[in-house]
Structure 1
Amino acid sequence: MLDRLDHALRARPERPAVLTAGRSGAPRTAATRGELAELADAYAAALHARGLRAGDTVGVAVRPGPRALAVLLALWRLGLRGAVLDPGAGEDVLRARLALARPSLVLADATAQAVAGWARPLARRARLALPDLAELGPVATVGPRLPGCAPRLDADAPRAGVPASRGTDGDAVIVFTSGTTSRPRAVVHTRAGLAAGMASVSALFRARPDEPVLGGTFFVLVPSLAQGAPVALPARSPRALARQTHRLRVQATYLTPPQLRDALRAGARFRGTVWTGSAPASAALLARVRRAGADRAWGVYALTELFPAAAVEAGEKAAFDGDGDLAGAPLPGVETALDAAGQLLLTGPAARDRYLGEAPDPWIRTGDRARLDGAGEIVLEGRCKDMVLRRAENIYPGLYEPALQVPGVELAVLVGVPADDGDERLVAVVQPERGSGPREIRAALAEPMRRMGTARPDALLFADIPLSGRSRKPDRAAPAALAAARLSGGRS
């Protein structure tokens, strides 16, 4: 798919590739197809000139858009492995992830570097944090360079001798998920697996040339552009996104459920087909999207380890009257199974190859309890792993709970409390040591919680935490129920 995209961009270089929204919501061309191909060529030449070769790892901290897509194309062409670095993960978590991935070079735009430098105070308010640039290792700036940034990636490097695409062997991308700061966990997708996932998206949604698609993920950008459709990046604010949906005549839209809810509250109107995933999408939300003008609305069940896995249309989901949440039929090539505890297992050509540092394993343990109905459709029945899903972001308590163990804290857990329409609030429940008071503990937790980035809790509660089982682990159900009761009563 990425090879096809490279050829497709060069076939009609004058046509728009990536669109952004102006203040009125009217589309503006951020990059033509030819400009995107030229940028990818320049990045590939610059990386090759720095001595990077197939199999090397490159950290990527670049905002979604033309530059990030051009970086992906350059890495693909050279057979390099990209490690996605999220400034919202928090400083300590990012340090641990960098130590695991050990990139030969980090590519960062000026915004990401500002988070680690002069704009750190502003970034903290937005729950963004990077370690100091010196801790990242060799860094090169992608895009405009601001004072204090690393040197720019050389856009004028010689292009002679840069190899052509390497086919479908080897690793393509590392995406970090769960684990702890002492042992991070990262999903590794091979080139063949990544290509299979994008081909699956392409088959699910066949874009018509020259008609815009609204969406910001690589799994939207690549198949759409390969089929000749320009892609509009969603505006960040709900009001601007609503104006964008009014002004842009799209054939299809892909937004997360939180983005959809915010856009609907701001008065968005939709056209064509709307797809949503990365978080639970209720039948009620899909029905609201239909009432807002969409011809069809689909919920997509997807994981970092396998994208996409299943899909369900609004009408089918509304007609489902059984227990649980209908996720739909597995997509072609996706195989399902249940383990002894009822956990859903998935495999297929687009499945991740392995977790970094671990042996390959064809079956993905989703952490979701499920059943398979008579037609083979997936019905989800809740989660069996510790994970909180807030605004389409997976937050793993084990990554952040150690930071809560400050002096005066005997025990601390992070739990999710159901909010509206499938979302959750993240709550820190802390059990003080005898003789310690809430005031000093709150003060001691201020800095560790700041360092948690976008995983910073929505509320901090003090309570005794029951233990259970032979290992006397915290019984997470009890503090979660307590947090739900207190928050509904307005106490914190």
Structure 2
Amino acid sequence: MLDTLAHTLRAHPDRPAVLGATRTGAVRVKATHADLADLADRHTAALHARGIGRGSTVGVAVRPGPRALAVMLAVHRLGARAAVLDPGAGPDVLRARLALARPDVVLADATAQAVAGLARPLARRARLALPDLAELGPVVTVGPRLPGCAPALDSGARTTALPRPVDEDGDAVIVFTSGTTSSPRAVVHTRSSLAAGMATVAELVAPEAGRPVLGGTFFVLLPSLVSGAPVALPARPPRVLARQMRQLAPQATYLTPPQLRRLLAAGGRFTGRVWTGSAPASADLLTRVKQAGADEAWGVYALTELFPAAAVEQAEKASFTGAGDLAGTPLPGVAAKTDATGELLLSGPAARHRCLGREPDPWVATGDRAHLDAYGRIVLEGRLKDMVLREAENIYPGLYEPALHVPGVELAVLVGVPAGDGDEHLVAVVQPSRGADRDALRAALAGPLERMGAARPDAVLLADIPLAGRSLKPDRAATARLAAVRLAAVRRSDGSRG
């Protein structure tokens, strides 16, 4: 698909490719097809001049947008692989990841650099940090260069003839996921697995030429641009995003569940089909999205190791009455099974080839406990590592959390709090929607709590749930600490009254 995109950009140079929004929500063109193609050619020439080619590794710390896409096109053309670096991970984590990936060069934009001069305070304001340049190895700046940044990638120079595009399979991208500072975990996708994932997205979303799509991820940008649909990068402030949505009336929208909740709170309206993933999306959230104007609202189950794996539309999810969280039917080409422990295993053309430093394995261990229902649909029962042990009984939160998402609930998670004797208390932490009546909410929760039987929580706390990561998933460890503090305060209060 990257090869097809390179051809499409040249075939239709005047088409808008990437759209942005002003503070008023007005739409502006950030890059045309010709802009992207020219930028990709300049990056290709500059990297080629530095000796980057088949077998090379290029570290990429560039914010999502036209420049990041142009970098990926250049790396792909040269047959190199891109190691995606998250500048927000912190110096220690980055140092360990770089030691594993061993990039030949690191491309970083100004906002991703915390070096001397003006770049350091800029990065501090953006909450970004990179180790010293000497530890990173060769670093070059792509995009506008501020004083104190690394030397610029010589993207102004053009060779008389660009190298012939590499046309064979091989490593395409390294994406770091979970893992410790001392032992990072790096997922390796090949050119063929990446292409298979993007083809699945294109078939699932089926964007129409000329109508905008809203979203900022690589898997949204590529299929949309290949189909001739311009992509609008979502504004960050919810109220600006709401105005942007009104201006664009996108045919398809991809936002994470936290973005959807904030947009709904800001009075946002939807058009066309809406897709969400990267974090749990309840049936209630998808219902609210459709009530706010969407024709369809889809939850996508995807992993870094296999994107996308399954999808479910709001109507199907809302009608599901079984225990657990319905993730949907595996998408074409995706095979699913469970092992003896109940862990969900996935395989297919879009599955990662291996983890860096490990042998290839055709089956992706998801870390999710699940089962396949009578219709072959994936039903999640919770993360294996999230299991709570209470009175010698294993409790999997994912089996019960969906039932807690009654109207008026924004988020709900079940966490274990140490009981002091090796056992755990099970606590439901429920985040009310803005303006929800708390007494009415507790009354609405009574029925679902009663139906949890032996898994009924020892306590229910109404509180904002901490979020973590770029996808802003519920931070269960932080939520458990919050629950422990709140329960201890209640006990102290009860003791003082006694």
Tell me the TM-score normalized by structure 1: 0.81
1:295 paired residue number: 295
Q: Partner amino acid for 1:484? A: A
Q: Deviations over 1:447-474 (max 9, x none)?
A: xxxxxx9899999xxxxxxxxxxxxxxx
1:471 paired residue number: none
Structure 2's unaligned 5+ residue stretches are: 388-396, 399-426, 434-463, 493-498
1:444 paired residue number: none
Q: Distance in 1 between matches of 2:9 and 2:46?
A: 20
Q: Distance in 1 between matches of 2:55 and 2:481?
A: 49
Q: Indicate whether 1:348 and 2:348 are aligned.
A: yes
Q: Distance in 1 between matches of 2:318 and 2:116?
A: 46
Q: Deviations over 1:133-168 (max 9, x none)?
A: 232111111111111111211123333453232224
CA RMSD in angstroms, aligned pairs only: 3.0
2:418 paired residue number: none
CA change 1:480–1:141 in 2 (3 A) is closer
Q: Deviations over 1:247-294 (max 9, x none)?
A: 112111000001111111111111000000011100000011001111
1:216 paired residue number: 216
Q: Deviations over 1:424-482 (max 9, x none)?
A: 5269xxxxxxxxxxxxxxxxxxxxxxxxx9899999xxxxxxxxxxxxxxxx99x9756
CA change 1:192–1:117 in 2 (3 A) is farther
Alignment of 1:454-469 (within 5 A): none
Structure 1's unaligned 5+ residue stretches are: 390-415, 428-452, 460-475
1:152 paired residue number: 152
3-state SS in 2 of match to 1:164: coil
In the TM superposition, residue 489 of structure 1 has moved relative to its aligned partner by 7.7
2:225 paired residue number: 225
Q: Indicate whether 1:370 and 2:411 are aligned.
A: no
Alignment of 1:89-488 (within 5 A): 89-114=89-114, 118-120=118-120, 123-124=123-124, 126-385=126-385, 420=431, 425=466, 483-487=482-486
Identity %: 69
Question: Number of residues paired by the alignment?
Answer: 425
Q: Distance in 2 between matches of 1:458 and 1:111?
A: 27
2:446 paired residue number: none
- Between the two structures, name the one with larger relative contact order (CA 8 Å, sep ≥ 6): 1
Q: Partner amino acid for 2:208? A: R
Q: Deviations over 1:233-259 (max 9, x none)?
A: 000111211111111121110000011
Tell whether the 8 Å contact from 2:110 to 2:119 is kept in structure 1 after alignment.
no
Tell whether the 8 Å contact from 2:339 to 2:345 is kept in structure 1 after alignment.
yes
In the TM superposition, residue 185 of structure 1 has moved relative to its aligned partner by 0.7
Q: Partner amino acid for 1:2? A: L
In the TM superposition, residue 486 of structure 1 has moved relative to its aligned partner by 2.8
CA change 1:95–1:211 in 2 (3 A) is same
> Which range moved further: 36-45 or 148-157?
148-157
Q: Distance in 2 between matches of 1:144 and 1:292?
A: 39
Q: Distance in 2 between matches of 1:374 and 1:214?
A: 35
2:31 paired residue number: 31
Tell me the TM-score normalized by structure 2: 0.80
Q: Distance in 2 between matches of 1:341 and 1:68?
A: 40
CA change 1:272–1:150 in 2 (3 A) is same
Tell whether the 8 Å contact from 2:116 to 2:149 is kept in structure 1 after alignment.
no
3-state SS in 2 of match to 1:385: helix
Q: Distance in 2 between matches of 1:331 and 1:65?
A: 28
CA change 1:22–1:454 in 2 (3 A) is closer
Q: Partner amino acid for 2:158? A: P
Q: Distance in 1 between matches of 2:330 and 2:116?
A: 42
